[in-house]
């Protein structure tokens, strides 16, 4: 048994617990109520981190590390140079988790359990990799000033990693997004939207865009954003440094080839399916209770004809039809490049391998309590907390 704190990391366009919007509708729990507060009431120490809602996985990980350690965000010498943005971001006065990484009275290190939803899962996965193996190129470029995030050898700080509805192997919806130019449209809208609201009084109060490295938003409490048009142009010219880009198949494929699992960390994954197979036609459709806003995307994924990605060679066949309306269920289970095993509730989980939980019914939002059953949502997370608190 352990009593390690649990750190929750939101996905694309999400928010953390310290943002004003979380008081209106909590990201974790959504329409079922504040899940973090509920888990606190159940005796679990939980925290909701806040990272860039549209930022790349790299930038998000750098921000998460600074939050957890109470230091200044360091995006790295090579990375910031490559994408033409500032190397350093905001400074955190205190760690998000008090005592994180320190020894208790018994001499035990205060580790954390990381839980990520959607792109938040990609974030915690890279975070665990960097703490374990580091990034030698950044250390070589920065020398003695290199962030502790890039030096590696810190796997002892993490007890477990859990991903929920995470597109480990991208999503077949990319074909529709690419063909309709939806990627470019959404990117332009994001740049204009974040640039406008990111320099308004609500940034840092209601929401937090974490885009001061591009000069696109103010650092909360300051007015340090660059000129609006110049900042928008710079952000769009470096669109490879965004979450939308990171989720494309070719990028995800390279990401998976670079990363590897840590043998000293427990890994769990939850996948969701919001479709059913029509017995008459043999085709899949979203279930009746699916979120109507994103159901059309689910229909596209269920009705796509089999095709092959020209770059990665991935074949999107019948196995890829079940989905949560945004991401294919098969892609959520585990990265294809890493070992996995089906979770067995009667055996102790293994380290260094993905313990794949049974597929849950529901869509991408159901997983965090959006338009979902309060009892089922809380039961799932209570069960997760029981599992990871029971790890040795």
Q: Which residues are catalytic?
A: 118, 324, 364
Q: How far apart are the first and last CA of the chain?
A: 6
- Tell me the chain's radius of gyration from C-alpha atoms: 20
User: How far apart are alpha carbons 122 and 51 in whole angstroms?
Assistant: 13
User: How far apart are alpha carbons 171 and 256 in whole angstroms?
Assistant: 14
Concatenating the DSSP letter of every residue in 342-372 gives E--TTSPPPBSSEEEPPPEES-TTGGGTTTS
Q: Which tokens sit at 349?
A: 């989980």
For residues 16 and 60, the answer to whether their CB atoms sit within 8 Å is no
Q: Which of 167, 160, 76 is nearest to 120 (CA)?
A: 167
For residues 248 and 170, the answer to whether their CB atoms sit within 8 Å is yes
CA count, 13 A, side-chain hemisphere, 340: 17
User: How far apart are alpha carbons 335 and 30 in whole angstroms?
Assistant: 27
Residue 14, C-beta contacts closer than 8 angstroms, at least 6 positions apart: 27, 53, 117, 118, 120
């Amino acid at each position: 048994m352990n009593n390690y704190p649990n750190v929750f990391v939101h996905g694309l366009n999400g928010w953390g617990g310290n943002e004003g919007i979380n008081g209106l509708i909590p990201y974790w729990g959504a329409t079922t109520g504040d899940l973090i507060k509920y888990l606190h009431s159940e005796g679990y120490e939980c925290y909701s981190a806040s990272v860039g809602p549209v930022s790349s996985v790299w930038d998000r990980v750098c921000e998460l590390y600074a939050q957890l350690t109470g230091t200044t965000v360091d995006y790295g010498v090579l990375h910031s140079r490559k994408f033409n943005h500032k190397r350093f971001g905001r400074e955190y006065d205190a760690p998000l988790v008090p005592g994180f990484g320190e020894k208790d009275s018994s001499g035990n290190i205060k580790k954390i359990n990381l839980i990520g939803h959607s792109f938040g899962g990609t974030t915690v996965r890279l975070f665990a990799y960097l703490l374990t193996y580091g990034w030698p190129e950044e250390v070589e470029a920065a020398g003695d000033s290199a962030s502790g995030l890039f030096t590696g050898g810190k796997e002892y700080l993490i007890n477990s990693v859990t991903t929920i509805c995470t597109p480990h192997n991208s999503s077949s919806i990319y074909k529709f997004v690419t063909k309709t130019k939806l990627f470019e449209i959404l990117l332009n809208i994001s740049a204009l939207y974040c640039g406008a609201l990111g320099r308004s009084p609500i940034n840092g109060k209601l929401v937090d865009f974490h885009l001061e490295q591009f000069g696109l938003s103010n650092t909360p409490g300051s007015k340090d954003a660059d000129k609006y048009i110049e900042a928008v142009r710079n952000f769009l010219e470096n669109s490879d440094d965004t979450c939308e880009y990171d989720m494309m198949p070719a990028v995800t494929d390279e990401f998976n080839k670079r990363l590897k699992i840590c043998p000293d960390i427990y890994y769990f994954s939850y996948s969701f399916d919001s479709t059913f197979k029509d017995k008459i036609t043999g085709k899949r459709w979203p279930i009746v209770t699916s979120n109507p806003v994103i159901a059309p995307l689910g229909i596209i994924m269920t009705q796509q004809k089999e095709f092959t990605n020209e770059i990665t060679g991935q074949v999107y066949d019948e196995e890829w039809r079940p989905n949560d309306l945004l991401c294919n269920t098969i892609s959520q289970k585990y990265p294809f490049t890493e070992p996995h095993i089906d979770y067995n509730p009667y055996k102790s989980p293994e380290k260094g391998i993905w313990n794949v939980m049974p597929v849950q019914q529901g869509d991408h939002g159901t997983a965090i309590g959006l338009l979902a059953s309060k009892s089922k949502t809380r039961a799932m997370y209570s069960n997760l907390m029981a599992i990871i608190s029971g790890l040795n």
